[in-house]
Amino acid sequence: MMDAGRHPRIEILTCAELVALEGEPGAFEARVRLRPTGVDRERCTGCGDCADACPVVAPNAFDLGLGARRAIFRPFPQAVPAAYAIDPDLCLNDGALIACDRCRRACTREAIDLGRLPSERRLSVGAVVVATGFEEFDPRELRAFGYGVYPDVVTSLELERMLNASGPTRGAVVRPSDRKPPRRLAYVQCVGSRGEADHPWCSRFCCMNAAKDALLLKQHEPGLESVTILYTDVRACGKGFEEFSERARASAWVEFVRGRPARVNEVPNTGELELAVEDTESGRPLRLRADLVVLSCGGVPAEGTADLAARLGIERNAAGFFALAPGPVPVASSRAGIFVCGSAAGPQVIPECVAQGSAAAVEAAILLASLPVAEAPCAGAEEAPEPSGSERPVSEPLARDDDEDGPAATRMGIECAESDARPGGDGPPASGAGTPDGDGRGMRGPIYPDEQRADEAVASGGEPRVGVFLCHCGANIGGVLAMPELLAYARSLPGVVHASEELFACSSTSQTAIQEAIARENLNRIVVAACTPRTHEPVFRQNCRAAGLNPYLLEMVNVRDQCSWVHAERPVEATAKARDLLRMALARARRLEPLQPTEVPVRQSALVLGAGLAGLKAASDLRALGFAVTLVERDARGGGLVGQLHSLYPDGAGGARTAGELLARARAAGVDLRLGSEVRAVTGFVGNFHVEIGPVGAAADGGSDDPGRTAGAGGADRAARAHRDCETIETGAIVIAIGAAPYAPAENEFGFGRLANVITSFELEKQLAASAEVASGGAGGQAPGARGLAGIRSVAFIQCVGSRQPASARTPGGAAGCSRVCCPASIQQAFELTRLGIASVVCYRDMRMAGTGAEERYREARAAGTLFLRYAAGDPPEILADGGFARAVRLRETLLQREVEAEVDLVVLAVGLVPRTAEAARVQEMLKTPQGADGFFLERHPELAPVETCVDGVVLCGTAQGPKDARESLVQASAAAARVVALLGQGRLFLEPAVCRVDPARCRGCGLCVSICQFRAPTLVSGPSGAPVAVVNAALCKGCGTCAVWCPTNAIRAAHFTDDQIVAMIDGLFAPAPRARDEALTGKAEQR
């Protein structure tokens, strides 16, 4: 949110509401009504004096009433803009009648203006993106759960606020009735979902949220004895979700019970609650005691959705969310030019929301680019203006700003695979506590505004003139540390020519004050003692830049997270520690050097690897935005896995047809399509890759992991052309879309390979296609397998083949995770079979029908007569054979609690999607993009950067990243295109200057740096005398500085973290003289 707020081309209108939208795609006119907040946001510094003065106390809506706020308030701590606002319903000022005016008098900045009236603005926009989110279901209407009756029944969002460190209880989980920590906690799933309150849909995020909370709760309240999760199906479908949920299940204090409680009652005189529930796996009715009951409330359409839909002229789906149109634009609404993303179209998980946001931006950009008006479409593409329809601030539903809110997982409870307590080794990199751009060198590299001024204030060698700014952070720091003492101490340190205190150093007032001090005192080093550089370094760096000072001359001291917050009970020691940290920072600051980013051009073209659904979509999108695109596909056909499918979930669109259409679109758009080709080698770096492309099979060993995909091509012919046809192209970015492969069942797994009528779901798909051809009277006679379905009356599906395997029972190539697509695919196939008059039996573990309309589809399938049999994880179905043929499926039905047997003519193994190991290894070798423990490519951050890799300029989409369905693949492809556009659209790139550099005079050419660097940044070249010498490619270097440690001669210098700076900090910490000085200051000199 801070990013968007800072973006020069994004204007955020809060308290704004769309009144009407008229016109055509590309030329809409939006009328927006603006409600006054009563506070001038330019003047407000967010100091909070007004709130202190306000006499009104009301429940805090953001804390869901768990905390209190005043009539003048800030919606939540990191709201953008940071200004306070007046709640007109609570404010005592009523025009001229009653004049309370306390806030106005308290405000020293004269920011409060009570007299403003609502206004209206007309905006000319080309496209509209609807991202109004969802609301939590209000469980009051389900009286049986006792919400609103018993104080100790809370919703999951209320619990979330309690878990939040900056929430009403500061991270403590308490029973609202007596404020005591709970010992036994029960989670009720599917509250307001899957049938409850007549909501048929599955809200998707609640299962994972409960699993995450179950783990997190124990961290917050170690006294917690148990968390019981009452569920119907555990829908952990998403990358890494299954593994996470299994981890929760394996925790000693977490118990999953399959059953939905009928009622929550209070146990008299105990303060406990009792839940009546059947453990459906044992058939026993239970009376569970809990002292806190959490209702996992589902998502419902945001208030005003119907209204907004009417004003926008777009349709809603059966559930009341905005409807998505079918087709290749996965975020299209029913009206051209209007796009829907996030949970406004149905409850979603965060990675999907983020990807959809990018996808919507790309679709809007494509629309704008297609207009005759010659307006640069690319620059703003990534962050298209975001109109707000509902009454709430636009960004609230998806609030994912990160400051003191800590790990995103503790907030908003949408999903959780992110920053959880991840065990070592098996997860994606946990950049964790949310870095909007504390990183600053992601896909984008550091983006420097055009008007960046050359910093001359500190020419090299300039005597350090350090300015120290101590932030009170309201009472967060100032309430604990002895600030006057620290200020005096700062002034006593060498090189310090200015020191001042700031109430909120990050406020615009303080930022201005810092700029003024820089100019007035001619400061050339800045030390800010405030919070963590991981979130606020960008803010202060930008401020330095604005003051004409090189941003690398800033040093931050984290006296909040490391002193006041964690030593709140020991203020003397906390202050002593702050002094030490300040001294260390000073020592480093004095040795900081101005660094200048190098500018490199960015090639205006992209390379896409893989012509499956995702690759084709990404390529088409990029082409539509005017970039040259080369699409390389090993297969001679293209279309990927989807191209081999008969019909796609959920709407039965033909897989081959969809793929064919996309292929045709890509061709028509002018994508340089290279079927039957492969990438041989990649060199270069972000914006400037050199890629060698040649025909498949021409390379010495063109081994493919999927023999089916290379077969049929004219091998000999191609080999002959091999060397001739190899060519090198230059490209700015690379999209990995190599897809996934179907799991190949092990020999005799469920009789596969041994029994003739045990096939995989992909084989069934072929037979369905053949049957369809027969039915349509086409050339079906010779279609292979057409006979296969003839004479078949019943089919058994075995779910989770090759998926969700515990480590103890893993088959070769099998996965620990859920493959996401098999449940919907089996149901889709069951429908197709029903159409052919064939009965289906689905043997499942959990029916994972998550996502818009999925649960409804599941219901339909049941209504259509498909039989669902549930088996337990460790007790898979048994295939009963009769002379080489499967005759029946026998399993222990966990819900019937008995063994059942179903006679079938065909057994279909619903196989999961697994990584294309060999191909992925090849790509990883060439691009150095890491794979996760599951073998899929690793995204840079599961939530904040779901399609970026840790290699700059290389993005990722489709099933190469993890199993997903066709729509999700399309969304990700557009999101990947968005990231590429954001990169290429800049035209040039500023390379991070805090990288390593080799002093050629010291380098002995030993090559150790070359051998240890994972990013291939250092290389050995021939020096002037012919001896080898290392050079570091600044574009590839990530600045970790590891090579500097390994260099035996200290020839490598890690800029911004030099040995000199590190040693100076150590010296600074242990320096004797300042200690003596600070003892003198605090009158403790005798103590030693």
107 to 166, contacts with another protein by CB under 8 A?
165-166
CB of 560 to another protein, least distance (A): 7
Q: Can you tell me which residue has the tokens 């999101």?
A: 975
CB of 415 to another protein, least distance (A): 14
CB of 395 to another protein, least distance (A): 20
Please answer whether residues 480 and 563 qualify as being in contact, where contact means their C-beta atoms are separated by less than 8 angstroms: yes
| From candidates 373, 777, 1025, 1083, binder to another protein by CB under 8 A | 1025
Q: Footprint of another protein on residues 700-729 (CB under 8 A)?
A: none
CB of 811 to another protein, least distance (A): 23
The residue count for the chain: 1088
Identity of the residue, 167 or 824, whose beta carbon is nearer to another protein in the bound complex = 167
The H-or-E segment that residue 882 falls in is strand 878-882
- Report the alpha-carbon distance of residue 299 to residue 204 in Å, rounded: 9
- Report the alpha-carbon distance of residue 418 to residue 205 in Å, rounded: 13
CB of 908 to another protein, least distance (A): 36
CB of 386 to another protein, least distance (A): 28
CB of 1009 to another protein, least distance (A): 11
Residue 900 to residues 279, 283, 878: CA-CA distances in angstroms?
20, 16, 10
> How many residues sit in the footprint of another protein (CB under 8 A)?
121
Identity of the residue, 859 or 1004, whose beta carbon is nearer to another protein in the bound complex = 1004
Identity of the residue, 404 or 968, whose beta carbon is nearer to another protein in the bound complex = 404
- Report the alpha-carbon distance of residue 584 to residue 465 in Å, rounded: 16
Angle between helix 822-835 and 854-863 (nearest 10): 40
Considering the rule CB under 8 A, would residue 926 count as an interface residue with another protein?
Answer: no
CB of 421 to another protein, least distance (A): 5
Identity of the residue, 573 or 747, whose beta carbon is nearer to another protein in the bound complex = 573
Q: For residue 191, give both structure tokens.
A: 């509250």
- Report the alpha-carbon distance of residue 851 to residue 346 in Å, rounded: 7
Nearest to 381 by CA among 1011, 1029, 982: 982
Q: Footprint of another protein on residues 532-551 (CB under 8 A)?
A: 532-534
| From candidates 92, 172, 513, 669, binder to another protein by CB under 8 A | 172
Q: Footprint of another protein on residues 561-600 (CB under 8 A)?
A: 561-563, 565-570, 573-574, 576-577, 580-581, 584, 587, 590-591, 593
| From candidates 397, 407, 610, 1018, binder to another protein by CB under 8 A | 407
Residues paired with 795 in a beta bridge: 840, 906
Considering the rule CB under 8 A, would residue 1045 count as an interface residue with another protein?
Answer: yes
Identity of the residue, 200 or 429, whose beta carbon is nearer to another protein in the bound complex = 429
Q: Can you tell me which residue has the tokens 């691009």?
A: 927
CB of 791 to another protein, least distance (A): 51
| Binding segment (CB under 8 A) for another protein, from list 135-143, 425-433, 669-677, 854-862 | 425-433
SS (H, E, C) 585-608: HHHHHCCCCCCCCEEEECCCEEEE
- The strands making up 284-290's β-sheet, listed across from edge to edge, are 263-267, 272-279, 284-290
Please answer whether residues 83 and 73 qualify as being in contact, where contact means their C-beta atoms are separated by less than 8 angstroms: no
Q: Footprint of another protein on residues 1063-1082 (CB under 8 A)?
A: 1063-1076
- Report the alpha-carbon distance of residue 687 to residue 982 in Å, rounded: 12
Give the CA-trace dihedral at 48, 49, 52, 53, to 10 degrees. -140
| From candidates 347, 428, 697, 745, binder to another protein by CB under 8 A | 428
Return the amino acid letter for 596.
Q
| From candidates 5, 320, 495, 548, binder to another protein by CB under 8 A | 495
Identity of the residue, 124 or 1025, whose beta carbon is nearer to another protein in the bound complex = 1025
The H-or-E segment that residue 297 falls in is strand 292-297
| Binding segment (CB under 8 A) for another protein, from list 115-123, 427-435, 698-706, 774-782 | 427-435
Q: Footprint of another protein on residues 376-405 (CB under 8 A)?
A: 404-405
Identity of the residue, 637 or 1038, whose beta carbon is nearer to another protein in the bound complex = 1038
| From candidates 305, 419, 840, 974, binder to another protein by CB under 8 A | 419
| From candidates 25, 1062, 1081, 1082, binder to another protein by CB under 8 A | 1062
Cis peptide leading into 650, omega within 30 of 0?
yes
Helix (H, G, I), strand (E, B) or coil at 843: strand
| From candidates 317, 509, 1042, 1082, binder to another protein by CB under 8 A | 1042
- Report the alpha-carbon distance of residue 232 to residue 846 in Å, rounded: 8
Residues 6+ apart with CB under 8 A from 699: 678, 680, 722
Considering the rule CB under 8 A, would residue 933 count as an interface residue with another protein?
Answer: yes
- Report the alpha-carbon distance of residue 769 to residue 914 in Å, rounded: 23
Mark residue 775 as left, alpha or beta (left: phi above 0; alpha: psi -120 to 50; beta: remaining): alpha
Identity of the residue, 566 or 711, whose beta carbon is nearer to another protein in the bound complex = 566
Residues 6+ apart with CB under 8 A from 884: 754, 755, 756
Return the amino acid letter for 112.
I
- Report the alpha-carbon distance of residue 868 to residue 842 in Å, rounded: 5
Angle between helix 1059-1070 and 571-589 (nearest 10): 140
| Binding segment (CB under 8 A) for another protein, from list 143-151, 256-264, 326-334, 560-568 | 560-568
| From candidates 368, 409, 457, 622, binder to another protein by CB under 8 A | 409
| Binding segment (CB under 8 A) for another protein, from list 193-201, 371-379, 809-817, 1026-1034 | 1026-1034
Identity of the residue, 171 or 660, whose beta carbon is nearer to another protein in the bound complex = 171
Pairing of strands 628-633, 605-609: parallel
- Report the alpha-carbon distance of residue 671 to residue 662 in Å, rounded: 11
Query: What is the DSSP-derived secondary structure letter of residue 932?
Result: -
Considering the rule CB under 8 A, would residue 11 count as an interface residue with another protein?
Answer: no
Nearest to 938 by CA among 927, 926, 950: 950
What x/- string results for residues 890 through 919 when contact with another protein is judged by CB under 8 A?
Answer: ------------------------------
What x/- string results for residues 429 through 468 when contact with another protein is judged by CB under 8 A?
Answer: xxxxx-x------------------------xxxxx----
Considering the rule CB under 8 A, would residue 1050 count as an interface residue with another protein?
Answer: yes
SS (H, E, C) 224-263: CCEEEEEECCCCCCCCCHHHHHHHHHHCCCEEEEECCCCE
Identity of the residue, 67 or 780, whose beta carbon is nearer to another protein in the bound complex = 67
Q: Footprint of another protein on residues 209-268 (CB under 8 A)?
A: 219-220, 222-223
CB of 1041 to another protein, least distance (A): 4
Q: Can you tell me which residue has the tokens 């803010």?
A: 539
CB of 491 to another protein, least distance (A): 15
Q: Footprint of another protein on residues 975-1014 (CB under 8 A)?
A: 997, 999-1007, 1012, 1014
| From candidates 206, 211, 645, 1044, binder to another protein by CB under 8 A | 1044
- Report the alpha-carbon distance of residue 607 to residue 629 in Å, rounded: 6
| From candidates 141, 599, 901, 1060, binder to another protein by CB under 8 A | 1060
CB of 568 to another protein, least distance (A): 5
- Report the alpha-carbon distance of residue 641 to residue 812 in Å, rounded: 21
| From candidates 313, 1048, 1080, 1085, binder to another protein by CB under 8 A | 1048
Identity of the residue, 431 or 852, whose beta carbon is nearer to another protein in the bound complex = 431
Identity of the residue, 739 or 1074, whose beta carbon is nearer to another protein in the bound complex = 1074
At 356, give phi and psi (nearest 5°).
-65, -35
CB of 159 to another protein, least distance (A): 15
Pairing of strands 153-155, 292-297: parallel
